[in-house]
A and B are shown apart, each in its own frame.
Chain A
Amino acid sequence: MKTIEILVIGGGPAGLCAAISAASLGAKVLIVERDEIPGGQLVKQTHKFFGSEKQYAGDRGIHIGQMLVENAQNDPNIEIWHASTVLSIYEDGVVTVEHEEKHTKVKPEKIIVATGAAENFLGFPGNDMPGVYGAGAVQTLMNVAGVMPAKRVLMIGAGNIGLIVAYQLKQAGVEVAAVIRRSPVIDGYLVHASKIQRAAIPILTRHTILHAYGDGKVEGAVIVKVGEDKKPIPGQEIDIKCDAICLAVGLSPLTELCWQAGCKMAYISELSGHVPIVDDNLETTVKGIYCAGDVSGVEEASSAMVEGRLAGVSAALSLGYGKGAAIGLQKEAQKELRQLRDGPMGNHIRKGLAKMEHNRL
């Protein structure tokens, strides 16, 4: 059995920042990441970021991701197991990992869960055919592997992810038949929506998908206009020829390990699903288990990075590292999080966090 001071589960922006900050205070950290390359969702994002300079706004996600990966790799206090998946957290604190094709046990003193989120699926006939992708998958094929996923794509969802991925597809030379969305409003940022409009990609609000068709793989889809009641209007169907359908209909936190560890959970729609209840320093109701990033509420890379830093400092402090500096660092991170969530775009997150606070009692 391997022993370690802090185990970080997931090597996305939250996990990497958690590891780097804990290691900088002197703690020994192991990051376990199931992908071949760490970086999480960040390494596929080629667009420029929002937020303040401290969270690298203006940089492209891919560069921020690479920088964090390099910092973690070069840190003597950090060990990274890639292509390794955490399978379970047991009551006695033992964590099991699939590592180098073996079932391996790890006994950490503290755990930081930073498993991120997974893309939501959508129910419609034909949704299981090859050619129906999550938006993140299309981004991975295109931006990480440099492989064109399709020739003509139908994008479902006009949030930031739907808009950004549609634009990147267009830039890569893939035709985007349309971006459709069931509700009457586009909920992504205006800059992204106007890029789409300038690229002459139609955004069809009040439209939903009825079914996908094809012989063994996607060859098209039938979409339909919906009324005020969100129900399809008969006779308003449109047949769209496409060889891929891309779903950008939100993400759900990957909380299986939190459930299993016995963390108190609550359903908070503003945070995108069931989330672990955490305190101001991101510790869950199970002592010694912390959460950071999308796993405790789907948000953005900028806040995931700051949350990671906060969880890392808190876990290190609880082990006795960084006395003196740590409390100041916690306060600073908490302040940055408040700033990031300020303003109208942070409305729903603030509402979600208020519910979280209520659940702590």
Chain B
Amino acid sequence: MLDFERGEKIFFSFNGQEIEAYPTETIAAALHAAGVSKLGESPELHRPRGLFCAIGNCSSCFMVVDGKPNMRVCVINVKPGMCVEEQKGKGELNY
């Protein structure tokens, strides 16, 4: 059927926890592989949010990546040492 060329295993952190992944994967895919489906919370009612469209369109997968909020993790590949956190609320810019 399908062969996956995944490359070397790498590690990144999710809410402070170390997670293994492959550099060919998006952050969303790597988290799913690790059994994580809750990516954040809705700003007002704090309802859990997960992946929906996987094409960078719907905003459901916003997370905080290396300190930056509102990152669409369905179209961003994981990198070694990346720091990924659940996003609560709208996120703030710290520039």
Contacts and interface: CB of A to CB of B under 8 A. Distances in A.
Interface string B45-87: 0011111111111100000000000000011110000000000
A254 B57 CA distance: 9
Interface in B27-48: 28-29, 32-33, 37-39, 42, 47-48
Given A35-B75, A130-B38, A217-B37, A85 B52 contact: no
B6 interface: yes
A235 interface: no
Contacts of B28: 141
B49 A130 contact: yes
Contacts of A118: 53, 55, 57-58
B38 A145 contact: no
Interface string A128-145: 111111101100110111
Contacts of A83: 75-76
Interface residues of A, number: 33
A140 B76 CA distance: 13
**Most-contacted residue by chain B among A131, A140, A145, A254 (CB, 10 A):** A145
Contact of B50 (A116, A131, A171): A131
B40 to A, nearest CB: 10
A132 B52 contact: yes
Interface of A is mostly: loop
B56 A146 contact: no
B73 to A, nearest CB: 11
Nearest to B24: A145
Given A132-B50, A146-B6, A217-B48, A36 B26 contact: yes
Interface size class for chain B? 20 to 34
A145 B56 contact: no
Interface in B4-39: 4, 6, 24-26, 28-29, 32-33, 37-39
Contact of B56 (A85, A144, A171, A216): A85
Interface in A115-159: 116, 118-119, 121, 128-134, 136-137, 140-141, 143-147, 149
A146 B2 contact: yes
A34 interface: yes
Contact of A147 (B33, B75, B77): B33
A269 interface: no
B1 interface: yes
A134 B52 contact: yes
A207 to B, nearest CB: 22
Contacts of A132: 50, 52
A46 interface: yes
B29 A147 contact: yes
14 contacts: A35-B56, A46-B2, A118-B55, A118-B58, A134-B52, A137-B54, A137-B55, A137-B74, A140-B55, A145-B25, A147-B29, A147-B32, A216-B48, A254-B57
Interface of B: 1-2, 4, 6, 24-26, 28-29, 32-33, 37-39, 42, 47-58, 74-77
Given A133-B54, A134-B53, A145-B33, 11 more contacts: A34-B56, A34-B75, A83-B75, A130-B51, A137-B52, A137-B53, A141-B28, A145-B24, A146-B6, A217-B48, A254-B57
